[in-house]
Structure 1
């Protein structure tokens, strides 16, 4: 079992209805079993995306596919410090993704959040967001495959 430490930052993926697709989340650890979920959500309506932060017991969720540690917030700070960098990200395709993405999704928001946090040089060191996306998708696919085989 992975030991999650207070103020660690994770990339978390949860299952969607369609196998091989995921919901992409920033996860800020409060305790080994709970933390803050920060993500773009649309509550089922793809036209009305919004930012949301709420408590989440992600490590124990049956929908959780993978957690990848991507950073840490200094113990002198809390989730609000991290949130300042991501809460106002526009719910639209960023310039850098226009040629790569067909539409805005939680994954697009997640990648832009990682870019913002990396650029701040305080919490996350991830110069290649696309590599992180590939890693998350690969881990997720492995998990989907093992789940479907009953492993």
Structure 2
């Protein structure tokens, strides 16, 4: 699938929204990009009933479920190892958020991870995390139909809070 709207910036972190079977919702995750094409996908998943963290290799241009990616920021010093350490430290076991007490879902975990990355100075959030999530969902909603038609995911490198 081609990527639309922009190109992936190496050594960056992106919020990813993937198509979900429930209309109006997404499966949320993070892309940590090593290069323009190669990275890793991180998410909280519950395929057999219990929540857990999962990481796998990712090539965004090859994903058939990816709707949009919204750039969180550059990895400080291009240090993927520091990002991975912080990402893995955020619980993905189904317990409520340690930060907010919110009930656990994949997007609960997704909100906690960028805040932890920002606090560890691994990445600098472009806006408060709740606003970033709202903006990401709006981009997803705006580009869902094209992605479902096989036109590829939409890349947002400079999230616009007024979208």
TM-score past 0.5 threshold: yes
Give the corresponding residue for 1:9.
13
Give the corresponding residue for 1:125.
125
Moved more, 117-126 or 59-68: 117-126
Give the corresponding residue for 2:73.
71
4+ runs deviating over 4 angstroms = 145-151
Q: Which has the higher contact order (CA 8 A, sep 6+)?
A: 2
Query: Aligned runs of 1:79-94 on 2, under 5 Å?
Result: 79-91=80-92, 92-94=95-97
Give the corresponding residue for 2:37.
33
Distance 1:34 1:148, change over 3 A: closer
Task: State the TM-score, normalizing by the size of structure 1.
Answer: 0.82
Contiguous gaps of at least 5 residues in structure 2? 152-163
Q: Distance in 2 between matches of 1:80 and 1:60?
A: 24
Q: Name the Cα RMSD after superposition.
A: 2.3
Distance 1:61 1:3, change over 3 A: same
Moved more, 108-117 or 140-149: 140-149
User: Per the alignment, in what secondary structure is the counterpart of residue 84 of structure 1?
Assistant: helix
Distance 1:17 1:76, change over 3 A: closer
Contiguous gaps of at least 5 residues in structure 1? none
In the alignment, structure 1 residue 115 sits paired with structure 2 residue 115: yes
Q: Distance in 2 between matches of 1:150 and 1:58?
A: 13
User: Per the alignment, in what secondary structure is the counterpart of residue 88 of structure 2?
Assistant: coil
Q: Is the 8 A contact 1:11 1:67 kept in 2?
A: yes
User: Per the alignment, in what secondary structure is the counterpart of residue 86 of structure 2?
Assistant: coil
Q: Distance in 1 between matches of 2:149 and 2:76?
A: 41
